[in-house]
Amino acid sequence: MLFPYQSIYIVALGASATQLGLVNSVGMGVAGLVSPLTGWLIDRIGTKRIYLAGIGLLAISYLVYGVAQSWLVTIFAMAAYWLGFSISILGCATVCGNCLAREDRATGMTLCETVAAGLLGMAGPMLGAWLVSNFGGVTVTGIRPLNYIALGVTAGTFVLVLGQLSDRRWGPPSVSRSGFLKDIAQVFEEGHNLKRWLVISAVTQLPLGMVFPFSQVFAQEIKGADGYVLGAMVTACALTSVVFAVPLGRLADALGRKKVIYLTMPLFWASNFILLWAPSAGFLIAAGVLQGFYYIGAPVAAAMERELVPATQMGRWLGTARAFKMLLSACLAFVSGMIWDGIGPQYVFLSFVFLDLVVRLPLLISMPETLNLRLSKDRPAGSTS
């Protein structure tokens, strides 16, 4: 509901593209720094309390967005958002990683994506477009009420998790007695291919700070899209998840994760090229359709990530990996804003495609397939990272 308008809202409050990048950069940076500690705490005390803390921060974020009168205030809102999102998603990811069988993991994660980013992702943007239109159009006045609605929905989510999620913990008792740095170091001492994966996963997440915050602004300012087209782009993106997420998840569980990732990567690249070229609203919506393949490839990559460590180290590993993702995204979100203002908007999108092609793809090729990967306890001595 909010996604098509949040960046536009910040710009309408007076931010330039560079300042929009700064807002996202600060939020991602804060979340990245906290992620290793969050993951460590999940291994120590379980997921439920951590999850609830994250949802509470999301609620604070929407409240601050709602009352903001200047783009400077949105820095605090964005920091709360990324911190809350990062904390809650780590709780969710730990449950998902430890409760799904390996042969069903990609399917389960893409099924979640189908419901969350797919079905709800289709309904939310069109509801948002209708609300914005009735509240006054794509302006501060028209967008502001969406934040209060999101606040109410998030409060409902808090109650749901509080009442329904168990407080299970997978870490052994020894984890709770160890030190933070020692526990983090243990993951890398016993893990394999983890260092390469940190780079792969960091580049995988770059669109969240480098592409998506700017795509709606580009569609409105450069291509002249109105509120309904902006909503339709996000709905089209969600429709892709509804139609393709589960079939491709099943394919990843049958043939391997890497094959599906190889399939989705060029489709997302194509979405950027079509967005830049789009001569009409129909092509902008087509770009939205292809953007949806990012939200399929990312969960499949996340399934690989969860298969690189045992359940007892899941929280620490996911927290550390998320730190690398968020910190790199934070840097490039700010750089993207400067590229937009200083060189040209189109180079924001082209820069990501270049990084994905020359950095992530070669490293992914060098990674082993994790569908049937044996973990360290099953490996012969002397294996290298």
Q: Choose the most confident range, by mean pLDDT, from 103-117, 310-324, 339-353.
A: 339-353
Calculate the alpha carbon distances from 140 to 3, 221, 269 in Å: 14, 16, 32
pLDDT exceeds 70 at position 160 = yes
pLDDT exceeds 50 at position 380 = no
- CB 43, CB 352: distance < 8 Å: no
Region 19-37: mean pLDDT is: 80
Structure confidence at residue 119 (pLDDT): 64
Nearest to 47 by CA among 302, 315, 317: 315
- CB 25, CB 79: distance < 8 Å: no
- Give the global pTM: 0.70
User: What's the chain's average pLDDT?
Assistant: 82
- CB 179, CB 36: distance < 8 Å: no
For the beta carbon of residue 70, count every other beta carbon within 10 angstroms: 10
Q: Choose the most confident range, by mean pLDDT, from 17-21, 61-65, 324-328.
A: 61-65
**What are 223-272's pLDDT values in tens digits?**
988 878 888 888 888 888 888 888 888 898 888 899 999 999 999 999 99
Structure confidence at residue 379 (pLDDT): 40
Structure confidence at residue 97 (pLDDT): 67
Structure confidence at residue 271 (pLDDT): 95
Region 99-119: mean pLDDT is: 71
